[in-house]
Amino acid sequence: MLAHELGHHVHKDIPFLILSGTLLTTLGLFIASLALDSAVSFFSFTSVADIAAFPALMLILGAYGLLVQPLENALSRWRESMADDYALKSTGKGEAFASAFTRLANQNLGEIDPEKWVVFMFYSHPPLGERIAKAKRFASS
Ligand SMILES: [Zn+2]
């Protein structure tokens, strides 16, 4: 587990995720600004500061979040998978890794093999079953 966290440090994942999050948020606010301008003229609000435009802003930001969340989660799963690879290679303990994650799954009643669309939409980490299978493959290679 420590080796996994060290993998994040080695791969500079904190600055990477701060930077990617900042870029996606900036892009989202820019798109929201353009969309809100359109909504203001479409619904004849007085300006973007019109309180009546607030629900439109919330809908726009909600729609952007719905589109971008899977992308942010995919980026996160990619970096998490890299940290797992680092942990396996640096410690060489595939069996211990697999057994730790198996215990974690059992204690937390975590989903071992969730539906692919659930992973796509909501998972910031690879599913436990995938991580355990990777560790077992590593141990047997
Ligand atoms: Zn991690």
Per-residue pLDDT of the chain (141 residues; tens, 9 = 90+): 899 999 999 999 999 999 999 999 999 999 999 999 999 999 999 999 999 999 999 999 999 999 999 999 999 999 999 999 999 999 999 999 999 999 988 998 778 999 999 999 999 999 999 999 999 999 998
Backbone angles phi, psi at 63, to 5 degrees: -65, -40
Tell me if the pTM is above 0.75.
yes
Backbone angles phi, psi at 50, to 5 degrees: -60, 125
Q: How far is the CA of 61 from the centre of ligand 1 (A)?
A: 28
Q: How far is the CA of 130 from the centre of ligand 1 (A)?
A: 14
- Dig out the tokens for 79 from the structure: 């970096």
Start-to-end CA span in the chain (Å): 21
CA distance 124 to 3: 19
User: What is the identity of the amino acid at 100?
Assistant: A
Number of domains observed in the structure of the chain: 1
Q: Which domain holds residue 30?
A: 2-139
Q: How far is the CA of 131 from the centre of ligand 1 (A)?
A: 11
| CB-side neighbour CA atoms (13 Å) of 6 | 9
